[in-house]
Amino acid sequence: VLLGLKRHYKKRCQGRMRKHVGDLCLQAGMLQDSLVHYHMSVELLRSVNDFLWLGAALEGLCSASVIYHYPGGTGGKTGARRLQGSSLPAEAANRHRPGAQEVLIDPGALTTNGINPDTSTEIGRAKNCLSPEDIIDKYKEAISYYSKYKNAGVIELEACVKAVRVLAIQKRSMEASEFLQNAVYINLRQLSEEEKIQRYSILSELYELIGFHRKSAFFKRVAAMQCVAPSIAEPGWRACYKLLLETLPGYSLSLDPKDFNKGTHRGWAAVQMRLLHELVYASRRMGNPALSVRHLSFLLQTMLDFLSDQEKKDVTQSLENYTSKCPGTMELLTLPDGLTLPPVPFTKLPIVKHVKLLSLPTSLRPQKMKSLLGQNVSAKSPFIYSPIIAHNRGEEKNKKIDFQWVQGDVCEVQLMVYNPMPFELRVENMGLLTSGVEFEALPAALSLPAESGLYPVTLVGVPQTTGTITVNGYRTTVFGVFSDCLLDNLLGIKTSGSTVEVIPALPRLQISTSLPRSAHSLQPSSGDEISTNVSVQLYNGETQQLIITLENIGMEPLETLEVTSKILSTKEKLYGDFLSWKLEETLAQFPLQPGKVATLAISIKAKLDFSCQENLLQDLSDDGISVSGFPLSSPFRQVVRPRVESRPATVSEGSKAGDLSHLKTLEAVLNFKYSGGPGHVEGYYRNLSLGLHVEVEPSVFFTRVSTLPATSTRQCHLLLDVFNSTEHELTVSARRNEELILHAGECQRMAIQVDKFNFESVPESPGEKGQFASPKQLEEERLEARGLEINSKLDIHWRIPSLKRSGEASVEGLLNQLVLEHLQLAPLQWDVLVDGQLCDCDAAAACPVGDPVRLEVRLTNRSPRSVGPFALTVVPFQDHQNGVRNYDLQDTVSFVGSSTFYLEAVQPSGQSACLGALLFLYTGDFFLHIRFQEGSRSKELPPSWFCLPSVHVRALDAQA
Amino acid sequence: MAVCIAVIAKENYPLYIRSTPMENELKFHYMVHTSLDVVDEKISAMGKALVDQRELYLGLLYPTEDYKVYGYVTNSKVKFVMVVDSSNTALRDNEIRSMFRKLHNSYTDVMCNPFYNPGDPIQSRAFDSMVTSMMIQVC
């Protein structure tokens, strides 16, 4: 037994000695020798179960083999760096492991110490060298031996680390990870804090080496936490922060918020949030509040979707606390080690869904004057349609908007915003970010309710120069963090273009009127937007003055002004000029300097149809006053004096009054085109619209119209039934007539003696107008022109004394063809002369009894053709004033010569006359009816042309 | 029996992750996250094998003191990671395999939903209840 023990001891000594020699050989660079010694040592020690030394020998064997296989070293740059820290590997090894005599040789050290790396010559000698697979097996074996000893933990760890490095070279990551996994569980007692950190750092480094980035990050984070473990008296926040930053790639986290704009967040939110929280905490403890604000805003911005409501509150709370000391900025933060932290704009607080540039309000919108030669035309291709152009246009449309902003005017951009937070969000200093033009943004503050829906926000600003302005984004201050949010970086945002042209400044016109403003909005079909509406109530036919005050409230002088009016489509027929004005007086005050006022008077004349809507013809024939056929119906008619016939309003008329009295509405738009200042030079103007709402109450109605022939053929009586539809007493007057007083709802007849009209003298409508009009339109126009002339002759006025209002009444609308025909002067003018005296009026021509009286009939042809010849018969009769006429006058009147006259054909504008003579045998009143011989008159001529005056002759005693 | 089940997208972000002891959720997040290193490694190692012969089950990814992490990868590189309690020694490899198969089938059902957008977090109730059943089974 003793011998056995002795042999055993001897073997152990030999083995240990061999191992030591091997170490020395290795240190001396005698690779081959060391391999041999190690092999022998392993064999010797294996037989005596000296496990610690066996492990060491195996490790030595491995080291030598590694040097042989990988002369470039295993550690790479990191290995070389670590060597510089400790000048001699042996020393380093001894310091680390005082309990073991094993000399650790860093394989990398040898090559750097000048061993010939060219091993090709040694390959033949390398019989004892281990194959790469064997190296790992031997390492495993060595480690398993080491693990038998609790004190050998450090060596075990060291061997693990070396094995991992070898495996990393061999690209056997899986096995390497197993070694590392084992290394993690090696229990090292009484490690100092520094060593703990070092251990985790090395682990992290090794994981990195084998491509396990996540594991590496995990251990780095553990190392970072170790730096600030509560057991450490002076926590190394700076180191912790630095290590934490290094873990970022492992958690696929970038501190640039732009990387998160690409889509929905994809990553390990819970883990990343934790890391960010730690970064915030570490940077705060480091005493760098700017950093913590930046990290916290990053956390809020990128992880918003993953934060619970409570967390959102907590994060914002702490963010507000930090920013109260150090506000968040948009500047790039640079860390001492060169890492830069890009700014974090809060694009999600609030979330902007839609951006729309608003045009100026209609009254301020600039419009381009149309030049005769559109410069656009020349730029376009000669083709009406080309797909290429259409494509270009579409592209342009995306970028540029087709309206303009004006320098110096407040311009608006509408954003639709949404608050994702579970509490009220206060956004301060919200303003626009623009480029291209100097722009004064007027910031707004808003408060969005919790989880609000889309909420419109209007941001305003004033462009200070001209050019093309691009709205790039907006600026906010939320929780004390300033953010510049660029639209390009926003996700899911809808814009309708963000580039707008700013044109030079234009003046601004403000209009106030003498009339009250109305709540009426004009018909929606009107098209233009009306800035102001005024309303007025007028009686039909009334004229009122509208004083418009023009004030230049802009900064530029007002140089030009144009006024146009547009009457909106109305069913009512309007007579005369509805709106009329004289611009000259106003323009005399121009240019209007800023702040100055000018006035413009506009007269509103509401003249609608004065007829009632019933069928006039029907009514007239009912009345029994015939207007048809031959006007010289009977001499009896001639006796009817023009008179005022008072008729009480009948029941039917009363009910008619009810529906006649309804209001009629007239609407018109007055457009003020104005310009001035630099904008005028550029050819821009502005358009201000004034809506005019006129309610027309009926004043008088002409319920009936008819004519009566007057005694003279040149004249005629126009009979008008005038109905007062107002609630006031009203007086009506026509030219040369006395006033007629009408009580409310009363209807009276009014007769006006008028000269017949020679319509041929009315100038025809201008030629160019007539060319395009249809015959029907021409006819209508002629009718209108005649109505106008008649009306001007009649000159009917009404007055309401109680209201002190007055106006005109027009018959234009109620004159029909028949009435007109009666009012028309026949183109054939007949004159009858008795004894050389023109016999046309009511007065009877006096002539002596017994003497022949000369009778002359003259015809003047005003028609454009020749007429005649005619045969005329003179029929004398006596009117007994009781409806009986006595034609049997052969005894009292005799003709000198024939009672029939002959007229030759008369050329246009020619004249013809025929002479005859009468002899009255007794005194008395006689009438002469001149009749055309049957069949002699031309059939084609209208009967009204043969309107001969009747002749009243009073035969008197010659002696008397 | 499983304490944590996770579905990881092809791009290595979680589509679904659920664990039983809610108070220590983060720990499992870390665990699953780090296990992806091993999964990646295994996939790249397998890449050379023919696609149809490939074994979807990755086996034990790594053991920790208290848990064992198993992995499974579909042909579309969607990964399933399951963390089981290492004290539960009764659990055989075959059982883990069948659990993964069940998970895979359920995931396929989720993908068949026309309203599911591939790449979005899984919110299917059927999938959720299946996972719950797998987690409760033994524990």
Span A162-204, pLDDT tens digits: 888 888 887 777 778 878 777 777 777 677 778 888 888 888 8
Neighbours of A731 (CB within 10 A): 16
pLDDT over 80 at A367, yes or no: no
Q: How far apart are CA A737 and CA A744, in angstroms?
A: 21
- In this prediction, residue A92 carries a pLDDT of 36
For range A473-502, the mean pLDDT: 78
- In this prediction, residue A79 carries a pLDDT of 37
Contact state of A213 with B34 under an 8 Å Cβ cutoff: no
Tell me if chain A has a CB within 8 Å of the CB of B9: yes
Arithmetic mean of pLDDT over chain A? 72
pLDDT over 50 at A536, yes or no: yes
Q: Cβ contacts (< 8 Å) between B26 and chain A: which residues?
A: 270-271, 274
pLDDT over 80 at A224, yes or no: yes
Tell me if chain A has a CB within 8 Å of the CB of B10: no
| CA A851 remoteness from chain centre | 96
Per residue in A857-913, pLDDT tens? 777 776 666 666 677 777 777 777 777 777 777 777 777 777 777 777 777 777 777
Going by C-alpha positions, the residue among A605, A637, A635 that lies closest to residue A751 is A637
- In this prediction, residue A395 carries a pLDDT of 45
Q: Cβ contacts (< 8 Å) between A268 and chain B: which residues?
A: 13-14, 29, 33
For range A265-294, the mean pLDDT: 80
From residue A730, how far is each of A539, A699, A725, A800 by CA, in Å? Answer: 12, 9, 9, 5
What band does A411 get if pLDDT is binned at 50, 70 and 90? confident
Tell me if chain A has a CB within 8 Å of the CB of B123: no
DSSP assigned state of A130:
P
Q: B26-29 long-range contacts, Cβ below 8 Å, gap at least 24? A: B26/A270, B26/A271, B26/A274, B28/B3, B28/B4, B28/B83, B29/A268, B29/A270, B29/A271
Tell me if chain B has a CB within 8 Å of the CB of A308: no
What band does A660 get if pLDDT is binned at 50, 70 and 90? very low
Lowest mean pLDDT of A594-598, A695-699, A898-902, B49-53, name the range: B49-53
pLDDT over 70 at A373, yes or no: no
Q: What share of chain B is helix, strand, coil (3-state, %, to 5)?
A: 40, 25, 35
Q: Looking at CA atoms only, how far is residue B121 from chain A in angstroms?
A: 9
Per residue in A627-646, pLDDT tens? 333 334 333 333 333 333 33
Write b or e for each residue in A232-249: b if 16 or more Cβ atoms lie within 10 A of its Cβ, otherwise e. eeeebbbbbbbbbbbbbe
Tell me if chain B has a CB within 8 Å of the CB of A173: yes
- In this prediction, residue A81 carries a pLDDT of 36
Contact state of A266 with B11 under an 8 Å Cβ cutoff: yes
Q: Cβ contacts (< 8 Å) between A211 and chain B: which residues?
A: 37, 40-41
Contact state of A266 with B26 under an 8 Å Cβ cutoff: no
Contact state of A212 with B41 under an 8 Å Cβ cutoff: yes
Q: How far apart are CA A680 and CA A702, in angstroms?
A: 52
- In this prediction, residue A371 carries a pLDDT of 52
How many Cα atoms occupy the beta-carbon half-sphere of A209 within 13 Å? 27
Q: Cβ contacts (< 8 Å) between B33 and chain A: which residues?
A: 214, 218, 251, 268, 271
Comparison of pLDDT for A93 and A251, the residue scoring more: A251
Q: Please calculate the CA angle B46-B48-B49 and round it to the nearest 5 degrees.
A: 70
Contact state of A207 with B37 under an 8 Å Cβ cutoff: yes
From residue A835, how far is each of A859, A915, A922 by CA, in Å? Answer: 17, 11, 17
pLDDT over 70 at A568, yes or no: yes
Report the 3 state secondary structure along B34-46: HHHHHHHHHHHHH
Peptide bond into A591 cis (omega under 30): yes
- In this prediction, residue A757 carries a pLDDT of 66
- In this prediction, residue A633 carries a pLDDT of 38
Sequence-distant (6+) residues with CB within 8 A of A669 are A522, A526, A528, A530, A565, A566, A568, A689, A690, A691, A692
Tell me if chain B has a CB within 8 Å of the CB of A211: yes
DSSP assigned state of A958:
S
Q: How far apart are CA A906 and CA A807, in angstroms?
A: 47
- In this prediction, residue A35 carries a pLDDT of 84
- In this prediction, residue A647 carries a pLDDT of 39
Contact state of A266 with B42 under an 8 Å Cβ cutoff: no
What band does A565 get if pLDDT is binned at 50, 70 and 90? confident
For range A408-430, the mean pLDDT: 84
Q: How far apart are CA A205 and CA A213, in angstroms?
A: 9
Q: Looking at CA atoms only, how far is residue B8 from chain A in angstroms?
A: 10
Which amino acid, one-letter code, is at B59? G
Q: Which residue has the tokens 């944590």?
A: B4
Sequence-distant (6+) residues with CB within 8 A of A225 are A240, A278
Lowest mean pLDDT of A269-278, A396-405, A613-622, A942-951, name the range: A613-622
Tokens encoding A130: 């281990």
pLDDT over 50 at A762, yes or no: no
Which amino acid, one-letter code, is at A302? T
Q: How far apart are CA A685 and CA A696, in angstroms?
A: 34
Tokens encoding A309: 């409501």
Per residue in A91-130, pLDDT tens? 333 333 333 333 344 444 344 333 444 444 444 444 567 7
Neighbours of A707 (CB within 10 A): 23
ipTM: 0.85
pLDDT over 50 at A953, yes or no: yes
pLDDT over 60 at A379, yes or no: no
Neighbours of A570 (CB within 10 A): 15
DSSP assigned state of A103:
P
Contact state of A271 with B26 under an 8 Å Cβ cutoff: yes
Q: Which residue has the tokens 């997040």?
A: B29
Per residue in A506-531, pLDDT tens? 888 887 777 776 666 555 444 556 66
Contact state of B41 with A173 under an 8 Å Cβ cutoff: yes
pLDDT over 80 at A465, yes or no: yes
Task: Identify the residue among B11, B30, B36, B123 best suited for mutation to test binding to A, counting A beta carbons within 10 A and taking the highest.
Answer: B30
pLDDT over 60 at A57, yes or no: yes
pLDDT over 50 at A375, yes or no: no
Contact state of B11 with A268 under an 8 Å Cβ cutoff: no
Q: Which residues of chain B have pLDDT under 70?
A: 21-23, 47-54, 89-91, 136-139
User: DSSP readout, A646-698?
Assistant: EEPPPHHHHHHHHHHS--EEEEEEEEEEEE-HHHHHTTEEEEEEEEEEEEEE-
Which of A35-39, A259-263, A341-345, A590-594 holds the top average pLDDT?
Answer: A35-39
- In this prediction, residue A716 carries a pLDDT of 73
Tokens encoding A156: 């075990």
Q: How far apart are CA A384 and CA A373, in angstroms?
A: 18
Tell me if chain B has a CB within 8 Å of the CB of A213: yes
For range A427-439, the mean pLDDT: 83
- In this prediction, residue A802 carries a pLDDT of 79
For range A123-152, the mean pLDDT: 74
Going by C-alpha positions, the residue among A209, A218, A213, A94 that lies closest to residue A158 is A94
Contact state of B33 with A271 under an 8 Å Cβ cutoff: yes
For range A59-67, the mean pLDDT: 83
Is B100 within 8 Å of B5 (Cβ atoms)?
A: no
- In this prediction, residue A26 carries a pLDDT of 85
- In this prediction, residue A959 carries a pLDDT of 56
Contact state of A177 with B41 under an 8 Å Cβ cutoff: yes
Q: Please calculate the CA angle A87-A93-A95 and round it to the nearest 5 degrees.
A: 90
Of chain A, the percentage scoring pLDDT greater than 70 comes to 70
User: By CB neighbour count within 10 A (0-12 exposed, 13-18 middle, 19+ buried), where does A497 fall?
Assistant: middle
Q: Which residue has the tokens 């995306």?
A: A398
User: DSSP readout, A321-385?
Assistant: HHHHHS-B-SSPEE-TTS-EE-----TBTTEEEEEEEEPPPGGG-EEE---SS-HHHHHS-SSS-
Q: What share of chain A is helix, strand, coil (3-state, %, to 5)?
A: 35, 30, 35
Tell me if chain A has a CB within 8 Å of the CB of B93: no
